[in-house]
Amino acid sequence: MQLSGVFMFIGMQEWIIILLTLLLMFGGTKIPQLMKGLGQGIREFNNAKNDVKQKIEEGIKDDTQKSS
């Protein structure tokens, strides 16, 4: 089952309960810090993914130029 399929079955009441639970667990001041850290982690992951993709493409380009 895909992750997006799981979110289809979560209704508005469940989202409110999840958000209230997070608020109680972490407090109002910690949530922005957690989201900032999550955003930075996602950004770093995407940068690393793009670097690997670029290196692979450069390697393929170099191989085709050498064989020509």
Question: How many domains, in total, are found in the chain?
Answer: 1
Question: In Å, how far are 9, 11, 38, 59, 63 from 45, measured between CA atoms?
Answer: 28, 30, 11, 21, 27
Q: What 3-state class would DSSP assign to 10?
A: coil
pTM (2 d.p.): 0.57
Rounded Cα gap, residues 31 and 34, in angstroms: 5
Neighbours of 36 (CB within 10 A): 10
Domain interval for residue 31: 3-67
Tell me: the pLDDT tens digits for 5-38?
A: 666 777 889 989 988 998 888 888 888 888 899 9
Torsion 7-9-12-16 (CA) sign: negative
